[in-house]
Chains A and B, each alone.
Chain A
Amino acid sequence: MTAVVPTADDFASVTALADAGASDATLRRFLHGLPGVDAVGVEARAATLATRSIKKDAKAQAIDLAIAMTDLTTLEGMDTPGKVRAMCAKARRPAADAPPVAAVCVYGDLVAEAVGALRGSDVKVAAVATAFPSGRASLAVKLADTREAVAAGAHEIDMVIDRGAFLTGRYGQVFEEIQAVKEACGPAHLKVILETGELATYDNVRRASWLALAAGADFIKTSTGKVAPAATLPVAVVMLEAVRDVARLTGQRRGVKVAGGVRTTKDAIRYLVVVNEVAGPQWLHPDRFRIGASSLLNDLLMQREKLRTGRYAGPDYFTVD
């Protein structure tokens, strides 16, 4: 079928499906009517963007931007209040004159701990919810998970979509679940994790992005970080194209979060280049782009130090929290 790009009316009619009840067939027509993605082409674009050489002032600016966009994350079975407290201390003050990170990201039952540890700072608390990372639980359980996190003070909720439903074409179910979670979020903003590694094709990433955005996501997020491959540059290109295109239709600029596999400053800067050149400079802000990471922060700080002193830094000089 011909896939001339959707108009604002098309998009509005999809988002209005809330009242009508989203049907798989309607959503399928819309999502499968989006332009396809040529994998080799998008990978080539990402590779070319990765050759940008960012040095000196531009690099310093990028490092600070990346720090300010970091969601400092701990999502381990063995997380404890102590671990969360230590991480929050780092989050508020990564280094002497460095900006604070955007948010911390924790499991729902540690939100209260994080809120307490971050009192008085601007750092947000994001909680993963909806039976993260697999999403394999009843809707009732997923909504309860969400409500509890919000009640405990989470500013942001990172939910997972039901990939099984998506891959079998049950787009209506995925759509309605996102809507329900959005409602349960109340004032909290919602990031929808697509788990792009399981979606397997860029066409699916594009469709899932549009589906999530139509259903009310404030942010679309690549991965849980528990499945490989997690975030990749080409996947980020596709997701940034989606938010760019939705902005053209609606005037609203939604956000993108990349998570998992962003380990070095070099990686982070490459993502910023992609944000800058694919979506545009308006997305170079923590309200529109986030990087979910843990070990990245220290690498950013090391590179920051090297720019400042001219010397290569060593890990002993940066705290492990």
Chain B
Amino acid sequence: MTSVPDLVTPTWEYAPAPESRAIATLRASYGLFIDGAFADPVDGGVRKTVNPATEEVLAEVADAGPKDVDRAVQAARRAFIEVWGPMPGRERAKYLYRVARLIQERAREFAVLETLDNGKPIRESRDVDVPLAAAHFFHHAGWADKLAHAGYGPDPRPLGVAAQVIPWNFPLLMAAWKLAPALATGNTVVLKPAETTPLSALLLAEVLQQAGLPPGVVNIVTGDGATGAALVAHPDVDKVAFTGSTEVGKAIQRQLAGTRTRLTLELGGKAANVVFDDAPLDQAVEGIVNGIFFNQGHVCCAGSRLLVQESLHDELLDRLKERLGTLRLGDPLDKNTDIGAINSAEQLQRITELAASGEAEGAQRWSPDCALPERGFWFAPTVFTGVAQSHRIAQEEIFGPVLSVLTFRTPQEAVEKANNTPYGLSAGVWTDKGSLILWMAQRLRAGVVWANTFNRFDPTSPFGGYKESGFGREGGRQGLGAYLDVEVDA
């Protein structure tokens, strides 16, 4: 056997490849979008929104106060009664198609803005967030005039005014997930974007104006938790849709107790990514990496618990660590960046604290060599091995790039461990055996099961959780029910 001699290996550094930020026009300040126009808050304030990769201030945005929220709800109510409610589905559809097209036309602008405000890599905003957002509007546009055939009876009616509160992890996409079905089914909306990521929603407001959407059909009230609470509590809201933490979700469910306001919740998760020893190994490694490091782990359905069959553990970890060594962390605007910034100082603090608990409780911590930039909020991809079910890092949602690795011996044990959590949003299964995939899928108590893949989303694919991960689904025919008057007993 001829041995190839050890060579002087070149290092090949990929030069910086930044996407230009010029395309995203940033205003110095933004007002609230109410009744078709931007206006200063009446009884709210202003706050600064920051680029988490650099800590630079991007813009000032308004904080809606209770009077502003009231004004928004009133605008939505009037638009529902006078304009959107009576409008035939066929016409509503055409507005939504316009919005989908406009997002596609201005895709690059949206992608850059999203990356600046959120910290996620431009490759992800460009290739995932923005295209999916457009697709959600496009898919739901087509439902607007077909509701009679959607399995909700011959004439399902909208609920009226929907209050929607969305998180910071996929700001534009979450806005699309909320607005598209609500509008398609004939509701009007007051949307509250997350405190740290208002900008893409405000650009979307401009798109809605460009689409000619009648004033008041969509209102966007930026602000913090207090704004969200005021909105959810408003007496003239018919429906609340919330995506965010389980803790806040429960508070909202308590708040709406005894009212007739409908509610759907999409909350946290602690998904198990189950890898059997006959998995397609290299793709499983990709699936694990994608599962927990995509979007810096800021994903409710992240595969944050790796459940690996014990016989495969050492080999899989070796390959995983080698693969993590090729991840590129840095400037989110660089097209070659794989891992961007953590969204805020608060979130970074939480991740740091939970990771510290992992070490304190006896798990072994590992990260690839990673130079973290000086300014901004950054956390290196981290893997904990030797994790037990009882460890905090196995139970609590970290919402960051931290993977906890546990083992199992049999499929039954894998199911038991995977389901042993109050959450139930998603799960992953990796095996070459088809019957095992279906057996596992049947038993995993999770709203989404990814088999030999992970983190796939589509407007036709219903998404939502079991147990404390929430109730209700978004996407697909099943997702329409959240916005239609299909209460069990009228």
Contacts and interface: CB of A to CB of B under 8 A. Distances in A.
Interface string B206-233: 0000000000000000000000000000
B129 to A, nearest CB: 15
A41 B283 contact: yes
A269 to B, nearest CB: 10
A36 B434 CA distance: 13
Contacts of A276: 12
A36 B7 contact: no
Interface in A40-97: 40-42, 44-45, 51-59, 61-62, 65
A285 B280 contact: no
B15 interface: yes
Nearest to A44: B286
Contacts of B452: 38, 40-41
B123 interface: yes
Q: Which interface residue of B4, B278, B279 has the most chain A CB atoms within 10 A?
A: B4
Q: Which interface residue of A4, A252, A254 has the most chain B CB atoms within 10 A?
A: A4
A168 interface: no
B12 A288 contact: no
Interface string B259-287: 00000000000000000011111110011
Nearest to A187: B2
Contact of A40 (B5, B10, B315, B453): B453
B277 to A, nearest CB: 5
A52 B338 CA distance: 10
Interface residues on A, range: 35 or more
Contacts of B278: 1-3, 35-36
B453 A281 contact: no
B280 A37 contact: yes
Contacts of B312: 4-5
Contacts of B17: 53-55
Contacts of A253: 4
A59 B12 CA distance: 10
Contact of B432 (A36, A54, A218, A287): A36
B286 A35 contact: no
Interface in A268-320: 272, 276-277, 281-282, 284-285, 287-288
B10 A281 contact: yes
A40 B9 CA distance: 32
A183 interface: no
B12 A277 contact: no
A241 interface: yes
B360 interface: no
21 contacts: A2-B278, A4-B277, A35-B432, A36-B278, A36-B279, A36-B280, A38-B280, A41-B282, A42-B282, A45-B282, A45-B283, A51-B123, A52-B335, A52-B336, A53-B14, A216-B1, A218-B2, A241-B282, A272-B12, A277-B326, A287-B5
10 residue pairs, one from A and one from B, having the closest CB atoms? A41-B283, A53-B17, A35-B281, A53-B335, A58-B15, A38-B280, A38-B283, A36-B280, A36-B432, A56-B15
Interface of A: 1-5, 35-38, 40-42, 44-45, 51-59, 61-62, 65, 189, 216, 218, 237, 241, 252-255, 272, 276-277, 281-282, 284-285, 287-288
Interface of B: 1-5, 7, 9-15, 17, 123, 127, 277-283, 286-287, 311-312, 315, 326, 335-336, 432, 452-453
